[in-house]
Structure 1
Amino acid sequence: MTTSVDTVPAPDAPASIQPSGTASRQGGGLIRYLIVRFLLIFPTIFILVTLVFFLMRATGDPITAAQGGHVPPAQLKHLIHEAGYDRPLIVQYLQYLGQIARGDFGTTFTDHQKVTTVLLTYGSATLELAFYALIVAFLVGIPLGLLAAYIRDRWGDAVLRILAVLFYATPVFFSGLLLKLIFASWLDVLPVAGRASTSVELEMQLLPHPTGIYLIDAFRTGDPAAVPDVLEHAVLPAVALGLLTAGVFLRLVRTNVIGTFNTQYVDAARSRGVGEFRLVTKHAYKPALIPIITVIGLQIALLLGGAVLTETTFEWKGLGFQLNAYLGSRDFVAVQGIVALLAVIVAVVNFIVDVIAALIDPRVRF
């Protein structure tokens, strides 16, 4: 009897010490993880900027590409020398890295604007479109993914998986043209192009300090018809771009929800008589959303890349639309600067997403 009483406190001592040690290890793991992820931003940007620089230079110097055939050879040679494009390539590369380190991404040849100014002018439109597309991806991909998990291994599940592949594999410009044909041409229920009607755009331009995000500016006008008009113009481009990411979310949710069915807490809920539908929508739903957060950063890069074609298809005058115009005029300095800036944005967004994922799911840190 004495032995049993003496041995009772023994397990309590290490148990009281273990949580604090575990907490400190977890805290150290989080800090170490965040530091590593933050430091990875710089080599990522460096590699992308380097690739863009040398790929652009493979076609020749930017002045010859933009002005060749439009100015006399003597003047062209003078312009090349004045801009420093006749120097060794490695010298130009080091100078370009120095400019980027100072926040200078160059000046466009076409309209003589700073690339950072172009980003501030047109970036808000691309940001707004990416936001709409992400909403479409969530509204389509997550419910269909849950449905596919609920009817797994049936013919409906196979149809949804094929649909996910089609969403992801269909080119954005093709789905955009198809949506325009059906809803703008045949049914005539949605606008065919643009971000808003001409009258609404004029109202927003008269606002003091417009944000460039039409939904916010439409609210500021006080016109009851402005907000519906902006949203109507956003439907088709948002759906065309959002379905691209919806296919990824659909397959990801389906796979992770089915994976959670093998966990002990789901088995415990099933043993208590919880129905299959409730298991999917309540017990297996939230854990399956964690992987989606971790891939949102990658999807932002996909949305920004798809925005180039989407904005061109729907004449949505954002950064992608302007980038396509610079490509048409062979303004390689503008293209190089915009792509470098987008690389910085994508790297930073990925870091933020990694931080959120690490805070939500401790398994990500290790």
Structure 2
Amino acid sequence: MTSTTPAAPAAPSAPAAPEAPQRRGRPAGSPLLRYLLVRFLLIFPTILILVSVVFVMLRLTGDPITAALGGRLTPDQLQERIHEAGYDRPIVVQYLDYLGSIVRGDFGTTISDNRPVTQVLLTYGTATLELVVYGMLVALLIGIPLGRIAASRRDSGGDATLRVASILAYATPVFFLGMLLKLVFSVWLGVLPVSGRASTISTLKMSREGSSTGIYLIDAISTGDGAVISDVLQHAILPAVTLGLITGGIFLRLVRTNVMGTLATGYVEAARSRGVGERRLLRKHAWRPALIPIITVIGLQTALLLSGAVLTETTFEWKGLGFQLVQYLLARDYVAVQGMVALIAVIVALTNFVVDVIAALIDPRIRY
């Protein structure tokens, strides 16, 4: 009888790897949408805080009717105007009523000239918008190229000169710089107009076209007259340079610092070790990462440009919101001042939101 050897037990098979849990994928755009939604919602508390602070600060001086017309009306007339405007009600009621009016787009009526504040904003806001755009263009055209030059020639004589110039540009008061430019280019050289947005003849030609947008360059182009276009641009040069030089100094230093920081990173050093030229390093590897902080600061500088526009418009008699704001301040018309500050708050908040959108599209890391 043959004996059979029992078969060796089969080796246990390796346990199957557990299936990786399926991740519930979120749409690729959800982080971006979530980020943008949060940034958009932050606009409303920002505007609310600014409007509330202005409301309280102006009410600390008393009611707007007494501030603007006190001494020009009899006490009975003054009380009648105060009651009609509702300034004898509790301050909380006035505040809630004012917020409700802003939501409806009603910023009140000016006291000094009895005009709807909305009409004032539409009439003079386009002039300020035009000046701010000019100033931003000058700032970018000056600050970004010179900042790149300073970064590529670090610690050279040219770099030191540019840094000193940027500090001087930022530290110089707007009104002093404006008067200095007027003295040189308008009085001494006589090559540029001293004030205003256009000559009287050009203004009449633009008004005859009947398609007034309030932005003189667009209105001048619509006339098809080269002399009118040239006149409008000549009037814009000095105010734009005055406003743009200050912000241009900030951009110059910011671009220099960020480009230098990017050039010192590991991946740029690795590209340099592979023989990539400095110009290509700056253009292909260092510039885009350094662009993110610059775009962010552009939004922050909008507030600086708007505040600088007040002095610039006054210096050059550029009749925009800044120029008109000074007139209403002198007249103690706090209703008009309140409306203009509210509009500026809205513009700054929306500009910052647009900048956040652009920065998030350029750099995906910002979305998370």
Question: Where does residue 6 of structure 1 map in the other structure?
Answer: none
2:29 aligned counterpart, secondary structure: helix
Superposition deviation, residue 154 in structure 1? 3.0
What is the aligned partner in structure 1 of residue 35 from structure 2? 33
The equivalent residue for 1:273 is: 275
SS of 1:69's equivalent in the other structure is coil
Residue 340 of structure 2 corresponds to 338
Query: Counterparts of 2:84 and 2:135 in 1: how far apart (Å)?
Result: 44
Greater CA drift, 165-174 or 231-240: 165-174
Higher alpha-carbon deviation: 161-170 or 87-96: 161-170
In the alignment, the residues of structure 1 paired with residue 364 and residue 277 of structure 2 have an alpha-carbon distance, to the nearest angstrom, of 29
Question: Take 1:207 and 1:345, find their aligned partners in 2: how far apart are those partners?
Answer: 30
What residue is the counterpart of 2:133 in the other structure?
131
**Aligned partner letter, 1:31:** L
User: Which deviates more, 50-59 or 264-273?
Assistant: 264-273
Write out aligned runs for 1:1-366 (5 A).
24=26, 27-366=29-368
Structure 1 counterpart of 2:288, one-letter code: K
Root-mean-square deviation (CA, aligned residues, Å) is: 1.9
| Alpha-carbon contact 1:168-1:248 (below 8 Å) kept | yes
TM-score where L is the length of structure 2: 0.90
Task: Return closer, same or farther for 1:161/1:223 CA change in 2, 3 Å cut-off.
Answer: same
Q: What is the DSSP-based 3-state SS (H/G/I as helix, E as strand, rest coil) of the residue aligned with 2:275?
A: coil
Percent of matched pairs sharing the same residue: 68
Partner of 1:4: none
SS of corresponding position for 2:114: coil
Q: Deviations over 1:197-254 (max 9, x none)?
A: 1100100111223111111111111212111111111010000000111111111111
Deviations 1:151-177 (A, max 9, x none): 212343233222222222221111111
Instruction: Quote the offset at 1:143 in angstroms.
Output: 1.1
User: Gaps spanning 5+ residues in structure 2: where?
Assistant: 1-16
- Tell me: CA distance 1:209–1:133, structure 2 relative to 1, closer, same or farther (3 Å): same
Does the CA contact (< 8 Å) of 1:241 and 1:310 recur in 2? yes
Cα distance in 2 for partners of 1:34, 1:168 equals 32
Measured against aligned partners, the alpha-carbon deviations of 1:123-155 in whole angstroms (never above 9, x if no partner) come to 111111111111100110001111111121234
Q: Are the equivalent residues in 2 in contact too, given 1:149–1:280 (CA < 8 A)?
A: no
Preserved contact between residue 198 and residue 231 of structure 2 (Cα < 8 Å):
yes
Confirm or deny: 8 A CA contact 2:195 2:235 kept in the other structure. yes
Please tell me whether the aligned partners of residues 151 and 257 of structure 2 are also in contact (alpha carbons under 8 angstroms). yes
Between 218-227 and 151-160, the greater mean CA deviation after superposition? 151-160
Cα distance in 2 between the residues matched to 1:287 and 1:198: 48
Partners of 1:178 and 1:277 in 2: how far apart?
Answer: 38
Letter in 2 for 1:142: I
Q: Post-superposition shift, 1:281?
A: 3.9
Query: TM-score w.r.t. structure 1 length?
Result: 0.91
**Alpha-carbon distance, 1:273 to partner:** 2.3
Q: 1:26 offset after TM fit, Å? A: 5.6
Rg larger for: 2
